[in-house]
Structure 1
Amino acid sequence: MITVLDYGSGNIAAIANLLRLSNLPHAVVQTPDGLSEANHIILPGVGAFDNTMASFRRSGVEAALHERTQAGAALLGICVGMQVLAEASDEGTEPGLNLVPGRVRRFDPQTIDCPSKVPHMGWNAIKPTGPHPLLEGIDLERGFYFLHSYYFDCADAGHALAVTEHGRPFHCAVGNGRVFGVQFHPEKSHDNGVRLFQNFMSL
């Protein structure tokens, strides 16, 4: 079963609907106790890095996520849910979960080809850095739907699973052990989103 963490920030209904269409059993939980037996956890996220981390710490979710990942549960962060896997972010001052070493950085309009395109929004192809079961069977040219102004910069290139282009290459999927993050929105990416969730469940 996939456990979707609802902490008040994320497109929970769309994720749950896609999991249902994918015939993947799932449950939506709102407390640390709801994660106690979880083996596959989806961590959605919409909004600001600091607000998300503050919410985690108030609710006890941060400790619960660390406990489950240390116990071997697979974790998939989506959008801001991916960004909080990092050590820190240019968006704020709160430390992240530090489950994938790296820092979240803001797109600099001065260093990309299309300065008017921040935030990065729309469909983009992705390019895996190598074979990985999370991305198996994905239509890479069609890619995924993105909406963000910040991106994950891995400290270790070995943790980057895929890159995409927005004026310059950036890491759009990361992984460290059984902890994964994707900057794009699978729940808005039709067949590729379905396949990604199915792949995640099989890990």
Structure 2
Amino acid sequence: MKIVVVDYGMGNLRSVAKAIEHVAPKARVVVSADPRELASADRLVVPGQGALHDCLREFLARGLREAVEKASREKPFLGICVGMQMLFEHGEEGDTQALGLIPGEVPRFARGLVAADGARLKVPHMGWNEVIQTIPHPLFAGIADRERFYFVHSYYCAPRDAAATAARTEYGLSFTSAIARDNIFATQFHPEKSAAAGLKMLENFTLWRP
């Protein structure tokens, strides 16, 4: 099995690759920006961190759009953090036109967020938080509902179709923290930074047969 981690010059690519190698030692894990490598992959991972407009600029400059869009229709596909955000139509950050594979927007957390107990919440949302599963999904196999995962982001995904939401998280509001559609699964949180639960999710991805 060949798993390609898409390299567009942004994000913690090596830590994602190392985590996948750990849970799937028999797989061939490749970090690449070569569309031919993406086309020959059995599974594709698009990670990312930083600003959506910067990530998307580098992504498009490397000529990756066609190969990633094709993979998103044909093979198991995992997006992580900005790799989830770029699947949507439009990002508020930099007024960015994204890939448009999932209908919806990527707005910024509003100022003045408060927790249920009245405490003020900081933006970016950074650290561990609960992930509330809203649908059963193979990538949640063996992971308890409300398990805690690691987040770092100032923008969040707002799918237009509620059926695309696979999990939600509370941070001053209830936002979509994972999406699922056909062979696409994507998370706002970082499985590769989320200890045992994150490794389990990555392992589930390597076994997933959508």
TM-score, reference length from structure 1 = 0.93
Residues in 2 aligned to 1:90 and 1:131: alpha-carbon distance in whole angstroms: 30
Among candidates 183, 186, 193, match of residue 181 of structure 1: 186
Instruction: Please say if residues 22 and 198 of structure 1, whose CA atoms lie closer than 8 Å, have aligned partners that are also in contact.
Output: yes
Native 8 Å contact 1:46 1:79 kept in 2? yes
Paired residue for 1:11? 12
Pick one of 174, 194, 198 that aligns with 1:193.
198
Equivalent residues in 2 for 1:121-200, closer than 5 Å: 121-200=126-205
Q: In the alignment, which of 87, 98, 110 is matched to residue 108 of structure 1?
A: 110
1:66 Cα deviation after fit: 1.2
Of 69, 87, 90 in structure 2, the residue corresponding to residue 88 of structure 1 is 90
Over the matched positions of the two proteins, sequence identity in percent amounts to 39
Specify which of 76, 98, 108 is matched with residue 74 of structure 1: 76
Q: Describe the SS at the equivalent of 1:110.
A: coil
1-structure distance, mates of 2:120, 2:155: 14
Match of 1:51 among 50, 54, 79: 54
Looking at structure 2, the residues matched to 125 and 63 of structure 1 have their Cα atoms a distance apart, in angstroms, of 34
Structure 1 residues without counterparts, runs of 5 or longer:
none
> Post-superposition shift, 1:176?
1.8
Which residue identity does 2:130 align to in structure 1? A
Counterpart contact for 2:168–2:176, Cα < 8 Å: yes
Q: State the alpha-carbon separation in 1 of the partners of residues 133 and 121 from structure 2.
A: 27
Corresponding residue for 1:35? 38
Q: Which range moves more in the overlay, 25-34 or 189-198? A: 25-34
Distance in structure 2 (CA, Å) of the matches to 1:88 and 1:164: 21
Structure 2 alignment gaps of length 5 or more: none
Structure 2 counterpart of 1:85, one-letter code:
L
Give me the TM-score of the superposition, normalised by structure 2: 0.90
Deviates more, 1:161-170 or 1:17-26: 17-26
Tell me the CA shift for residue 39 of structure 1. 2.4
Which has the larger displacement, 26-35 or 158-167? 26-35
State whether residues 124 and 145 of structure 1, in contact with CA within 8 Å, keep that contact through their aligned partners in structure 2. yes
Q: Is the 8 A contact 1:6 1:29 kept in 2?
A: yes
> Number of paired residues?
202
State the shift of 1:193 in Å. Answer: 1.2
Q: Which amino acid aligns with 1:138?
A: I
